[in-house]
Amino acid sequence: MLKALERTHQQAEPVASSFLFDEVAALLCYDPSVRSGEQAASWAMSAAAGRVWSILGDRKLFDRTEADRLRAEIAWLAEALGPLSESVHVREQTPRNLQNRGEARESAYEAAYDTALAALESDRYFRLVADLQQFCSAPPLRQTRRWHLYMG
């Protein structure tokens, strides 16, 4: 039975690591579009960040110390991107009575875009990208505690 449990854990490691790698790649592929101000890309990048955050939270698979540090950084990134994906970008001309509302929306969009762009151009973001790539190439897996496998 011990061998079967070890095999299951070892088989889960490559699958989870591969899924994490794919989600990090998805997160990074949206970067250029977010930089150009595309709201759909901002939403998609935020969603990918959420999936990476979730995968890193697997306490049975990954070492907590590094995973928790990366999760905090992913949360920071998602927080910076969130307002851009939620704001309404108004480009068309609005009737005079709606113009103030349109200007307020445009101003909110510009502020959200500035926040997202500042995050993507920061040293913190580039460290996060490097740390995620390092984590994916050599994930710090949690050491299984064999003593509890004998309890039944």
Q: Where are the domains of the chain?
A: 2-89+96-150
Fold of 2-89+96-150: A middle domain of Talin 1 (1.20.1420)
- At residue 112, what are phi and psi to the nearest 5 degrees? -65, -40
85 backbone dihedrals φ, ψ, rounded to 5°:
-70, -20
Q: Which two tokens stand for residue 69?
A: 């540090």
Nearest by Cα to 128 from 38, 55, 24: 24
Are 89 and 109 spatial neighbours (Cβ–Cβ below 8 Å)? yes
Q: For 11-50, how does the pLDDT look when each residue is reduced to its tens digit (9 = 90+)?
A: 445 666 788 999 999 999 999 999 998 889 999 999 999 9
Q: Is residue 57 exposed (0-12), middle (13-18) or buried (19+ Cβ within 10 Å)?
A: middle
Confidence of residue 100 (pLDDT cuts 50, 70, 90): low
**Could you tell me the pTM of the whole model?**
0.75
β partners of residue 62 = 141
Q: How far is it, in rounded angstroms, from Cα 148 to Cα 152?
A: 8
